[in-house]
Amino acid sequence: MYLVALHGYPLDHRIWDPLAARAAAGALGPITSVLAPDFRGRGTSLRPAAPVHTMSLLADDVAEEVSRTLPPGEPFVLAGLSMGGYVAFEYLKRHGARERGRLVGLALFDTKASADDDAGRANRREAIEAIRRDGIDAALSAMLPKLLAARSKGGPAEETARAMIRETPPETAMADLAGLAVRDEGFQALSGWEKPLLVVVGDEDAIAPASDAEAMTAVAGRASWVSLVTVPGAGHLVPLEQPDEAARALALLAEATRRDSAREGTLP
Ligand code: MLT
């Protein structure tokens, strides 16, 4: 079983590296492989940045990558962190029905299902202007202090977060922000989700706090299994800050998908 793992803004696939290592070592139960694509315009992506990275555009890119990379029929859990979670909601809306047979579970890390309000959109516009004026350092100084729990600061998670932000091209970050500002809410997609759902939040997450996580589980009344995990000593980047906790939670989700499949008499 694969984990298809979507990163946040202004980050890249490296937030999932600790989980990929744990999957390969057997710590994620039936999940043994991780596909963690970079969204367009950064890192290993072959796609150039677009003027606006709408969540639907990024979701369509992911769908293409999943079709190209996963072995036919291979089951997968879809995971998204923050912006990656917003993209996951669009993926469900646009590709969920087609992938119904093999999309077996959903994991939402440090994310929320609400859209931006007017104040949020105004902040995005200011953030775009700051990057246009000062380059990616504007994103670094705006985001880095908010991303990590107190105990992660000054450690390897901060080093990785700084590198990811610094290496994000400014036009990519601006296109992400423009897309984040116009995104739809994800509650409707969540309320229709019928398979196992894991929601994980760091207890020091300053961007998508526990109240957002609770709001998501509250609407997931049709999910066959729901777990809300609050991780102590983590901020907005649980998979990087507390990967063992994240791995444990994902292993339980994967086991729940197995029980679902056994009940339905299907693989895996
Ligand atoms: C993220 O981590 O992807 C962003 O903080 C999401 C957001 O700004 O809404």
In terms of DSSP H, where are the helices of 135-209?
137-147, 156-166, 170-181, 187-191
**What pLDDT, in 10s, does the model give residues 120-136?**
999 999 999 999 999 99
Q: Residues near ligand 1 with C-beta < 6 Å? A: 8-9, 82-83, 180, 207, 236
Measured from the CA of 8, which atom of ligand 1 is nearest?
3
d(CA 89, CA 66): 16
Contact 198, 105 (CB under 8 A): yes
**What pLDDT, in 10s, does the model give residues 171-186?**
999 999 999 999 999 9
Three-state SS at 249:
helix
DSSP 5: E
Alpha carbon nearest to ligand 1 atom 4, residue: 9
pLDDT tops 90 at residue 265: no
Contact 124, 177 (CB under 8 A): yes
Give 251's contacts (C-beta < 8 A, 6+ positions apart): 27, 28, 29, 31
**What pLDDT, in 10s, does the model give residues 57-95?**
999 999 999 999 999 999 999 999 999 999 999 999 999
Give the closest residue to 93 by CA, choosing from 217, 209, 213, 193.
193
The strand pair at 33-35 and 76-81 is best described as unpaired
Give the closest residue to 132 by CA, choosing from 164, 163, 172.
172
Q: Which of 39, 83, 111 to mutate to test the pocket of ligand 1 (most atoms within 8 A of CB)?
A: 83
d(CA 34, CA 27): 12
Confidence of residue 264 (pLDDT cuts 50, 70, 90): confident
Q: Which of 82, 124, 164 to mutate to test the pocket of ligand 1 (most atoms within 8 A of CB)?
A: 82
Confidence of residue 12 (pLDDT cuts 50, 70, 90): very high
